[in-house]
Amino acid sequence: MLDAVAQYGMGFKPPSMHELRVPLLKSEVEEIDKLKEEHKKEWATKGCSIMSDGWRDSIASKDIVNFLVNSPKGSFFIKSMDVSNVVKDADLLFHMLDDMVEEVGEQNVIQVVTDNASNYVKAGRLLEAKRQHLYWTPCAAHCLDLMLEDIGKIPKVKNALKKCIFMNGYIYNHIALVNLMRKFTNQRNLHRPAVTRFATSFITLAQFHKQKSNLRKMVTSQEWNTSKWSKDVGGKKIATYFLQDTFWRNVLYALKLTGPLVKVLRIVDGEKKPPMGYIYEVMDRAKETISKSFGMKEEKYKEAFEFIDKRWNCQLHRPLHAAGYYLNPEIHYDNVENVECEEVMLGLYDCIGRIVPDVETQEKILLELDSFKNATGLFGHYMAIRQRKTKSPADWWSSYGSSTPDLKNFSIKVLSLTCSATGCERNWGVFQKLHSKKRNRLAQSRLNDMVYVKANRALERRYKRKDTIDPVLLREIDESNEWLLGRMEENSSDDEGDLVFEGDDLTWASVSRAAGANDPIYGTRGATRVARESMPSSSRVDKGKGPTTTSTSKFSRRVVIVDDDEEDEEEDIGEDGDYLDDEDEYDAIDDDDEL
């Protein structure tokens, strides 16, 4: 905007307050209404999803829900509602969702997507009972985030996360230390925001692993050794962690478990290439990749798989996902046996019976399935075969489904669907103002218009930024990261054998041993007992005579005794809680339920 003013030059007259609040705002609303009409045409031809994107305003103690409608044309913001008096009552939630279906048009709605809270589950079932030709679907992004949260409770993973969160908080609370860190990481940051909270945690963990060598060089550099942080309690802990082999082993273990799931999360958050045709397959590939990364040693990933299966089977395993799996040409022709299993076929038939109300049309679709299965007619054309993996599934059906018109329309509706309800802009301040205080009717109407315009402009920009070629690359599930493909023990030992400086024979293992990084920060009862038993007899305490060691108390080291199973808890908390200023980002350290 400022560039445009500068280009206009001298004499530019800015709009008055009245012009901004009345005629210009009205003009913007009219433009968004025109955009809405274009979206409505898409809803009528290809179907749509109503997305309920909820969040809690902790300051005002209010529960807010933003309603959007998603179609192949992108997401469109409808309204924002204060549901504080509704969210805990399944019946009231049901009526709220039902009213939204009525507003959008039941004939256009294929599914309603909400989060997975128990009241939403009950409301969704009530909605499906009343509206016989649509589905309630839990948000896939929320389900995947819950999987990551569950995996974050595994002790090794929790240990790595807590240490990384502490180190990230300590570093970013000191500007000079941030500058030093960026000097060694080539201006790369450690914290990487992502779609969800727990995805952010594990992507940040991956960034730590990527910068492993640089971070180690930082805490062994002259700049670090002469700085105040090398003498500070928190700084000493950071240096110890960065040089600690067990810490990096735990980081690697966590990344092997979560890397494929983060990839799936990115896929389900896609905009231009709807993920409904992929979610079933990518979940299977994610599990397969995790097991391969551990050399098929089930004991190393069994607990994580239990968490994944618990969420997948009860929340993500839906008829629409199965139908999308069957109808996706990229998957169907390469996995004929898998796509025709009983589980998938039941989901497909359930969708045909629910989405297509006319029995005669259902029969036509069932007959036309054979043409798709056997790749006859246009389905067998060399261009159709060539574009199975390059075109989005819905566009492929639009181009090559003419010989099966009823199946084509059904397939496009299913394959055009989103899997998540995270399509709204994450700038919650806009919506906070909408519900923050009582206003007169004119002021509230004006604010509603401003939010309506701002939210939809943001969604339009988001849609235009998305990759139009191929944001869903199934092979990325298998090639997500270098650390994902090797064995944990081999990777870890190889890292310890890396040279600190090129042309020198000094390795990180030598630095780690010299710094005592692998020694426990606190003594444990078990370690103390072993150390006492290994002492020479002259150093032991004789009954009645006191200690007979020749070392003086001036140079003796004080040993703090803690229980073996409490060691990780003690060493992570320390005296450094003041380094964790951002409660939203670092509250996982103190809340066991969060990790």
What are the extents of the domains in the chain?
2-137+424-465
How far is the C-alpha of 117 from the C-alpha of 120, rounded, in Å?
A: 5
The pLDDT of residue 573 is: 26
Tokens coding 340: 């025709």
The pLDDT of residue 484 is: 32
How far is the C-alpha of 516 from the C-alpha of 115, rounded, in Å?
A: 47
Backbone angles phi, psi at 425, to 5 degrees: -60, 140
The pLDDT of residue 298 is: 94
pLDDT tens per residue across span 26-70: 888 999 999 999 999 999 999 999 999 877 766 667 788 889 999
How far is the C-alpha of 371 from the C-alpha of 286, rounded, in Å?
A: 31
Write down the CATH number for the domain with range 2-137+424-465: 3.30.420
- Quick count: other Cβ atoms within 10 Å of Cβ 500? 15
pTM, rounded to two decimals: 0.73
- Report the candidate in 171, 175, 176, 174 with the shortest Cα–Cα distance to residue 215: 171
The pLDDT of residue 396 is: 96
The pLDDT of residue 470 is: 38
The pLDDT of residue 498 is: 54
Q: Quick one: CA dihedral 296, 298, 301, 305, positive or negative? A: positive
How far is the C-alpha of 275 from the C-alpha of 267, rounded, in Å?
A: 6
The pLDDT of residue 192 is: 65
How far is the C-alpha of 257 from the C-alpha of 245, rounded, in Å?
A: 19
Give the pairing type, strands 546-547 and 135-138: unpaired
Rounded-to-10 torsion of CA 572, 575, 581, 583: 50
Tell me the average confidence (pLDDT) per consecutive run of 10 residues in the chain, 595 residues long: 74 76 84 94 94 76 86 90 87 95 95 91 95 94 91 94 91 92 92 69 90 94 94 94 94 95 85 83 93 94 94 84 95 89 94 95 96 94 94 94 96 93 56 51 69 87 62 43 33 48 57 58 46 45 42 35 33 30 32 35
The pLDDT of residue 219 is: 94
Q: Which residues contact 209 (CB under 8 A, 6 or more apart)?
A: 248, 251, 252, 255, 483
- Quick count: other Cβ atoms within 10 Å of Cβ 566? 11
- Report the candidate in 288, 301, 297, 194 with the shortest Cα–Cα distance to residue 254: 301
H/E stretch holding 104 reads helix 90-104
The pLDDT of residue 314 is: 77
The pLDDT of residue 60 is: 65
The pLDDT of residue 450 is: 84
pLDDT tens per residue across span 6-20: 777 777 777 777 777
What phi-psi label fits residue 61: left (phi over 0), alpha (psi between -120 and 50 degrees) or beta? left
Percentage helix, strand, coil, to 5, in the chain?
60, 10, 30
The pLDDT of residue 31 is: 93
